[in-house]
Amino acid sequence: MLIQLKNVTKTFGTKKNPTIALKDIDLDIEQGSFSLILGRSGSGKSTLLSLLAGLDKVTSGQIIINGQDLSQAKAGKLAQYRSSIGIIFQAYNLLPNLNVVENIQMGCWASGKTPDDNYVNELLTQFGLTHRQHANIKTLSGGEKQRVAIARSLIGRPSILFCDEPTGALDKQNETQVTEILQKLHQSGLTIIMVTHNPEFKSIATDLITIEDGILSTSKPNN
């Protein structure tokens, strides 16, 4: 099993007056799966994703990824884990002081690695960004920004790709484009875990994870 959650609870706020975001969750995610995390706004989807991506720590319970317990990991180990995965945000989160190609390269630079130039060019071509590679981030369209963000998440050749509503801010046309990219990535063997409100993804997903009032249930898409 690639990812295993055991009795994971996450609360915010003070001990006396806690907001319980996730309660006693158990979850298994297989290598090569395309899992969607579904649920109403405020149900705890982003919270779950941030725990899986090593951006936050559990209040109690265990997250075991590739046999390694994230809940026990020190800051250095967590950083190392984050450098081994890819992550895409709804708000793109590109660095405005760097241009397109530098933003992509930052996917390696941040963890002290040297990006593979051929792979950078390959991604630029694949995502139709070659002619804009030296452009200022502020001048890009939403779809272009998200493609840069996807390229950045892929440049370090991640083992898992986490996405938090990657098409949430995109129009129909760009949404379709991003969906196709992600589908291809999954077909090439990448494990993808995605938070989304978009029902279209159900057609390409392998697993559905639904959160309701902090409680989690899993199912298979009916296709």
Partner 1 sequence: MKLSIYTKILSRQLITKWGRFILASGGIMVGIWAIVLTTSLSTGVLGTITTALNSQASAREISIFSREDGQTSFFNPGAGQAPKFVALGQDDIKKISAKDPNIIDIQPDLAIANGGLKTVLDLTGKADRCYNINKLSTGETDKNAQPKPIENPEKTKEDLAKCTTLTFSSFVFESLYLSKKDNWLGQTTKPAQNEIVLCFKCDDLGQKLGYKEPKEMLGQSISLDFVFAPNLYKPGTTYETANLTRQNKINNTNRTAKFKITSVIDDRQDSFLAGSSSYMDIANYYQTMRTNNPNLNDKDFGTLQVTGFLKSYDSLASSKEILANNKLLGFSILEGILTGVTAFFAGLTVVLSGFGLIAMIASIFGIVNVMAISVLERQKEIGVLKALGARNWDIFMIFLFESILLGFLGWLFGVLLAVASGLGIAKLFNLYSSNNPDWQKNLAGLNIKEFNPSFSWWLLLGCLILAVVVTAISGLAPAIKAARQNPVDVLRSE
Ligand X SMILES: Nc1ncnc2c1ncn2[C@@H]1O[C@H](COP(=O)(O)OP(=O)(O)OP(=O)(O)O)[C@@H](O)[C@H]1O
Binding site for partner 1 (CB under 8 A): 46, 49-50, 53, 55-56, 75-76, 79-80, 82-84, 87, 89-91, 93-95, 97-98, 102, 106-107, 109-112, 152, 156, 164
Please report the DSSP string for 160-177 in residue order: EEEEESTTTT--HHHHHH
What distance in Å separates the CA atoms of residue 194 and residue 205, rounded to the nearest whole number? 9
To the nearest whole angstrom, how small is the minimum distance from the Cβ of residue 212 to ligand X?
Answer: 11
Q: Which helix (H) or strand (E) segment is 209 a member of?
A: strand 207-212
Q: How many CA atoms lie within 13 A of 92 on its CB side?
A: 21
| Contacting residue, 11, 35, 46, 99, with Mg ion by CB under 5 A | 46
Which of these segments, 17-25, 32-40, 45-53, 166-174, binds Mg ion (CB under 5 A)? 45-53
Answer with the entry of Mg ion, ligand X, partner 1, none that 110 interacts with (C-beta below 5 to 8 A by kind).
Answer: partner 1
- Residue 155 CA to residue 122 CA, distance in Å, equals 10
Quick check: 23 binds ligand X (CB under 6 A)?
A: no
In the complex, minimum distance from the CB of residue 45 to Mg ion, in angstroms, rounded to a whole number? 5
State yes or no: residue 196 binds Mg ion (CB under 5 A): no
Helix axis angle, 142-154 to 172-187, nearest 10°? 20
Q: How far is the CB of 84 from partner 1 (least distance, A)?
A: 8
Contact 103, 94 (CB under 8 A): yes
Binding site for ligand X (CB under 6 A): 12-13, 19, 21, 39, 41-47
